[in-house]
Structure 1
């Protein structure tokens, strides 16, 4: 198949530090190339890929302080994609509502992976284009009635996450993610303080979350019990998660997926997570972690999580969230959409002949 992958321009593919969508796009794109598909990746110019790279801007927009209007470059990217639509059998968009209008103007089908959540505003755009094909990354994400082709869980290269059979001593809890209210870093700190555990935290602070970080997080960072490591690269991330006794995932929103959970479990470290969004689909209760109703329960369940078999945590990821399984899912989606489009075109052609 000739496939166009359309990635956000905010981060490069794959991301050097934080960037869940871009990591998924990287794994998907490279594995499709390995399987013999002809893939073109539309992404930032500093992206690294086995596919043919088409770039509108030379580097990730987040790295350029001169870029003030992200939407301008996303518009240019999509213009380039759809001007070349006839070159592809299918276009796979990872950029949300921005691609919907252009996708409806060409005969080549576009499938949209929903990486984010629905809002009161963006759901209107999705509903207007509800007949286009969509892929959800968890069943819990399907809160708006759209033409869902399938749910395809995000996948990782498990081999990229070294298994750690015994956590580091002295023991600590881990938190990895954006320092934003919905990710719950302030609750991770509260859990650590309530239980007396050390907490090591890593992740980026977006401009929009700077005030939250300064007020709710920074005052608690003492370098003794509460440690802040900043943004970390892949190797540092794997070490942080793998050497931890437990990873905390105290979200306050309906998380569409949550790569951190499977990254932690891949290293062998169990997860304690809030029962919201995709969590019940990702964490195997009593096997790879515990799904908790609130933060007080998360604190109480640390001792139980310590007793879980770390090899079972990794096996859960290998069985359910590998790159192979993810790509198998997407190839099935592509084939189904292309066949349906061919069938529809055949019916249209037959109708014209009858007329």
Structure 2
């Protein structure tokens, strides 16, 4: 099977630090290569893959301010679409824009919807509802106005997140510094239970950081480590007593939640969006209704079996499980789209 993986180009694939869509696209591509598939990754020129790399820009536009995002996104997507006939399946991780090409090509396109940035983008998905194949990353993130081929949870490399049975005593916030992700609430929880809090993530809202985070960062009780790369991420997640995830929006998935549990670290999350699908309440962490409940949950973290957290994450959120589910999805799509004459089998 010849598969084209279309990754975003804000960041390198896989990203050096932040870049969740690029990370998932990489995990899919590398997993498919390992499964014996013929994979071409369409990404930035500095991306890393064991498949074939195709690119039109050397670096991501979020890393190179001289690049105009709209210009290079158009060139990037058209670079794939102009050679779509070479592939049996196109797997789109680039949101809604590639759908606008789908009526001009014969190759079926699977689109993983990594969340809806705004209801304003729904008209594009609705227009191509009956001619494309949509995959949700959680059941919670499905729009009632769309048809879905499958739900496939994001998968992570188990080897990148080694199990740690002996954590440190700090709480961890790991994610974008933005009101949606609840950095301020994490600080309130940590202060309430009198535990150290380490904060790691890309500052996406400078005003929010300056008003609600920076005043509490003292280098002792509240520590901000910046936007951590893979090695620091592994250490922070693996040694944390618990991950705090006090989101204020219906999050489609939450990679850091799966990554923490893969290390054996329990997660305390506000009960919104996909969190009930990711976390087994009382077994791999706690689903809570606010700051006070989260602070109370911290007192019960010691009762969580970290080995069970690891087992749960391996069975549900490993890259192998994700790739297996995507291969099943591709085969389902090919059977319904064009049951004969598929090249590369």
The 3-state SS of whatever aligns with 1:143 is: coil
- Show structure 2 runs of 5+ residues with no match: none
Matched, 1:13 2:9: no
Matched, 1:120 2:119: yes
Instruction: Give matches, 1:143-292, under 5 Å.
Output: 143-168=143-168, 171-206=169-204, 209-292=205-288
The 3-state SS of whatever aligns with 1:178 is: coil
Q: Is the 8 A contact 1:127 1:146 kept in 2?
A: yes
Query: TM-score w.r.t. structure 2 length?
Result: 0.96
Residue 4 of structure 2 corresponds to 4
Rounded Cα–Cα distance in structure 2 between residues aligned with 1:317 and 1:120: 31
Write out per-residue CA displacement over residues 179-210 of structure 1, whole angstroms, 9 at most, x where no aligned residue: 0110111110111112211100101113xx11
Rounded Cα–Cα distance in structure 2 between residues aligned with 1:245 and 1:321: 21
Rounded Cα–Cα distance in structure 1 between residues aligned with 2:99 and 2:32: 24
With 173-182 and 142-151 compared, the bigger mean Cα shift is at 142-151
Residue 25 of structure 2 corresponds to 25
Q: Give 1:119 shift.
A: 2.1
Q: Aligned residue pairs: how many? A: 340
Residue 352 of structure 1 corresponds to none
Q: Give 1:231 shift.
A: 1.0
The two structures, once aligned, show a CA RMSD in angstroms of: 1.3
The 3-state SS of whatever aligns with 1:96 is: coil
* Runs of at least 4 residues off by over 4 Å: none
Rounded Cα–Cα distance in structure 1 between residues aligned with 2:235 and 2:71: 38
Q: Give 1:213 shift.
A: 1.1
Q: Give 1:344 shift.
A: 10
Matched, 1:133 2:133: yes
The 3-state SS of whatever aligns with 1:121 is: helix
Q: Give 1:155 shift.
A: 0.7
Rounded Cα–Cα distance in structure 1 between residues aligned with 2:6 and 2:159: 26
Q: Give 1:306 shift.
A: 2.2
Rounded Cα–Cα distance in structure 1 between residues aligned with 2:117 and 2:339: 31
Write out per-residue CA displacement over residues 127-159 of structure 1, whole angstroms, 9 at most, x where no aligned residue: 122111100000000024222100000011112
The 3-state SS of whatever aligns with 1:248 is: strand
- Show structure 1 runs of 5+ residues with no match: 346-355
Q: Give 1:298 shift.
A: 0.5
Q: Give 1:338 shift.
A: 1.0
Q: Give 1:42 shift.
A: 0.5
Q: Give 1:118 shift.
A: 5.4
Rounded Cα–Cα distance in structure 1 between residues aligned with 2:255 and 2:63: 23
Rounded Cα–Cα distance in structure 2 between residues aligned with 1:195 and 1:235: 28
Residue 142 of structure 1 corresponds to 142
Rounded Cα–Cα distance in structure 1 between residues aligned with 2:253 and 2:179: 17
The 3-state SS of whatever aligns with 1:101 is: helix
Residue 80 of structure 1 corresponds to 79
Instruction: Give matches, 1:304-323, under 5 Å.
Output: 304-323=300-319
Rounded Cα–Cα distance in structure 1 between residues aligned with 2:61 and 2:115: 19
Write out per-residue CA displacement over residues 30-84 of structure 1, whole angstroms, 9 at most, x where no aligned residue: 11112221111100111000111011110122111212x3121111111111100
Residue 102 of structure 2 corresponds to 103
The 3-state SS of whatever aligns with 1:117 is: coil
Write out per-residue CA displacement over residues 94-119 of structure 1, whole angstroms, 9 at most, x where no aligned residue: 01111111012211111100012252
Q: Is the 8 A contact 1:114 1:134 kept in 2?
A: yes
With 335-344 and 314-323 compared, the bigger mean Cα shift is at 335-344
Query: Computing the radius of gyration over CA atoms, which structure comes out larger, 1 or 2?
Result: 1
